[in-house]
Structure 1
Amino acid sequence: MQEQKGKYEDLKHDELGIKVRSDDNPYLSADLQQKILQPRRLSSYFIVLIESGSITYHLDSQDFTLTDGHLLFAMPNQIFTPPAKTGDLKYFKLLFDENTLALLPQQFPFLVNPSNAQTLVLDNPAKERVIKVFEILNQLLISDKYETDTEIILAYLNSLLSEFNSAYFKNKGPVNILNTNLSKFTEFKLVVETSLTEQPSINAIAEKLALSTNSLYRIVKEYAGTSPKDYFINRLMAEAQRRLRYSNTSVKELAYELGFNDPDYFSRLFKKSTGKSASDFLPRQDLSGK
């Protein structure tokens, strides 16, 4: 989530990393439909809003059942298993990448999920507003009758994310979403995501965020309920579980991939953190997506 970078008059809308799908504009190919039902690592931000009906999504190791007015959002690198569409389901899906997000004029802290809540429930007025924006954005992106200004598409995307950001923080008490602590926690989560396998020290992360280690501890404890070190380890172990479940790598190879010099230490840490042996976890892989 970076600041807007200049003008984008020369950027065509079909070059933006953004897609919208709905029950009126579904994936058409049966082969493609089967392919997208497979577990996969997200490379973009993903948001789905249920207008009516009910459906269950699997994100990382959790199931999320969504119904009218419910919204699920996910970050890049999360393991996502979409379900087959159920009857009478009306929905909108939105995918956009980091480069598209960087073109927007403001930041959206909800995208890094500081309160660890992957779902939102929109009230009826917000739901109606969002559906209208989705419909317009959907029309703009699939229309080839004329070339739409990129600025218009980004304006509608900005409007959608503003609604979601407001809904995310609406019931979180008197927290100001622009306050310094929340901003620093958002930056902390981004540093963790982008440098996970490098395993930087907590001192190095604090220095990068222009914080003392004590200040970083206080901020992470406030928003995540744990220490920066434990937060990093938990995130690293979650990534280990993803890779064990969705790849054919060995435990030893995985340890090196995640930045561990000692595979035995990785195995002990994995067992301590998850209560499961990494080697015992491998036989339960399921790559079929069924």
Structure 2
Amino acid sequence: MQEQKGKYDGLQNDELGIKIRSNNNPYLSVDSQKKHLQPFRLSSYFIVLVESGSITYNLDSQDFTLTDGHLLFAMPNQFFSPPAKTDDLKYFKLLFDENTVALLPQQFPFLVNPLNMPVIVLDGTAKERVIKVFGILNQILYLDECQTDTEIVLAYLNLLLSELNSAYFKKNESINILNANLSKFIEFKLVVETHLTEQPSINEIAEKLAISTNSLYRIVKEYSGTSPKDYFINRLIAEAQRKLRYSNISIKELAYELGFNDPDYFSRLFKKSTGKSASDFLPKQDLSGK
């Protein structure tokens, strides 16, 4: 068993960036958990399903409490604070990278959360099906001694994501998950994440998406309720807040890191957006001497 667990130090498949955790293969030792539970930026897609019990995750500085049949998902670059495991919790956790997604036969719009709701509540029958697929993935990625063919792993991952994509949009049946506008909004979100610190202009983003700036405005407004410019600024400010809270960085250094040429302009924009100065988000120092 020790040799089998050891392969989780790297990828679980020679060709796929995918790994799974469950009650059968729990996370780390108590000492190792202290480091693991520190806030970090996700480098892959993350999905956790609670089969029974309750646990609270923090994603982008917002708490999400999951109970039976609740599933939380997140995309690369989101800021994630994992909780310590609670008693009597039954769960599955799955991580997979962009390269793995690219090998799937279809796209899954829910992965970039176009409706801004990272929690999916599964009904009874859907929960049963999803748990079964998670169980199969856990078996072929962790329990089986012989490595399973890549095609089989991808087939079950595709099946799982199909279930979750359907459940995500189920309560929003008026939205066509394959329509062109939603596809462009998904592309827009990915461009924002990929080129955030480069601060491309809205015209440059529209050119990348091969649409007009007017069309981009209409699409982003439809799915986010805000303009492309405000969406980009809000994303930058959210990134700034995370860095201020969780890293030892000066406000001036942060401004340059986020692509601002003028730290003073960054400070004014930050205060206008949040109502607070950037220094208010810096970690408080303990001056008690204790």
In structure 2, distance between residues paired with 1:197 and 1:277: 20
In structure 1, distance between residues paired with 2:261 and 2:28: 46
Structure 2 residue aligned with 1:69: 69
* 1:200 and 2:224 aligned: no
Structure 2 residue aligned with 1:264: 264
In structure 2, distance between residues paired with 1:115 and 1:232: 16
CA offset at residue 284 of structure 1?
3.7
State, as a whole percentage, how many aligned pairs show the same letter.
Answer: 82
Structure 2 residue aligned with 1:124: 124
In structure 2, distance between residues paired with 1:107 and 1:15: 20
1:51-200 map, 5 Å: 51-143=51-143, 145-200=145-200
Deviations 1:152-171 (A, max 9, x none): 00111111111111111111
* 1:222 and 2:222 aligned: yes
- Asked if structure 2 preserves the Cα contact closer than 8 Å seen for 1:13 and 1:153, the reply is no
In structure 2, distance between residues paired with 1:252 and 1:222: 35
In structure 2, distance between residues paired with 1:60 and 1:142: 30
Q: Given residue 254 of structure 1, which amino acid in structure 2 is its aligned partner?
A: L
In structure 1, distance between residues paired with 2:34 and 2:54: 20
Q: Given residue 130 of structure 1, which amino acid in structure 2 is its aligned partner?
A: V
In structure 1, distance between residues paired with 2:136 and 2:283: 47
In structure 2, distance between residues paired with 1:141 and 1:93: 12
* 1:273 and 2:273 aligned: yes
Name the count of aligned residue pairs: 276
In structure 1, distance between residues paired with 2:12 and 2:23: 26
Deviations 1:74-133 (A, max 9, x none): 111111111111111111000011111111111111111100111010011111001001
CA offset at residue 268 of structure 1?
0.3
CA offset at residue 21 of structure 1?
0.5
1:225-236 map, 5 Å: 225-236=225-236
Point out the more displaced range, 93-102 or 275-284: 275-284
CA offset at residue 12 of structure 1?
8.3
- Asked if structure 2 preserves the Cα contact closer than 8 Å seen for 1:245 and 1:285, the reply is no
CA offset at residue 142 of structure 1?
1.2
- Asked if structure 2 preserves the Cα contact closer than 8 Å seen for 1:48 and 1:92, the reply is yes
Distance 1:267 1:12, change over 3 A: closer
Distance 1:187 1:285, change over 3 A: farther
**Structure 1 unmatched ranges of 5 or more:** 1-10
Q: Given residue 31 of structure 1, which amino acid in structure 2 is its aligned partner?
A: D
- Asked if structure 2 preserves the Cα contact closer than 8 Å seen for 1:244 and 1:285, the reply is no
CA offset at residue 25 of structure 1?
1.4
Q: Given residue 239 of structure 2, which amino acid in structure 1 is its aligned partner?
A: E
Structure 2 residue aligned with 1:253: 253
Q: Which structure exhibits the higher relative contact order, with contacts defined as CA atoms closer than 8 Å and separated by 6 or more residues?
A: 1
Secondary structure at the aligned position of 1:245 is classed as helix
In structure 2, distance between residues paired with 1:284 and 1:73: 31
Q: Given residue 54 of structure 1, which amino acid in structure 2 is its aligned partner?
A: S
In structure 1, distance between residues paired with 2:13 and 2:144: 11
Secondary structure at the aligned position of 1:172 is classed as coil
In structure 2, distance between residues paired with 1:277 and 1:12: 45
- Asked if structure 2 preserves the Cα contact closer than 8 Å seen for 1:245 and 1:284, the reply is no
Secondary structure at the aligned position of 1:252 is classed as helix
Question: Normalised by the size of structure 2, how large is the TM-score?
Answer: 0.92
In structure 2, distance between residues paired with 1:284 and 1:206: 41
Secondary structure at the aligned position of 1:13 is classed as coil
Deviations 1:165-223 (A, max 9, x none): 11111111311101000000000000100000010110111111111111111100000
- Asked if structure 1 preserves the Cα contact closer than 8 Å seen for 2:246 and 2:283, the reply is no
Q: Given residue 189 of structure 1, which amino acid in structure 2 is its aligned partner?
A: K
In structure 2, distance between residues paired with 1:27 and 1:114: 30
Distance 1:285 1:186, change over 3 A: farther
Question: Normalised by the size of structure 1, how large is the TM-score?
Answer: 0.92
**Structure 2 unmatched ranges of 5 or more:** 1-10
Structure 2 residue aligned with 1:8: none
In structure 2, distance between residues paired with 1:220 and 1:285: 40
Distance 1:192 1:51, change over 3 A: same
Structure 1 residue aligned with 2:37: 37
Secondary structure at the aligned position of 2:76 is classed as coil
Structure 2 residue aligned with 1:240: 240
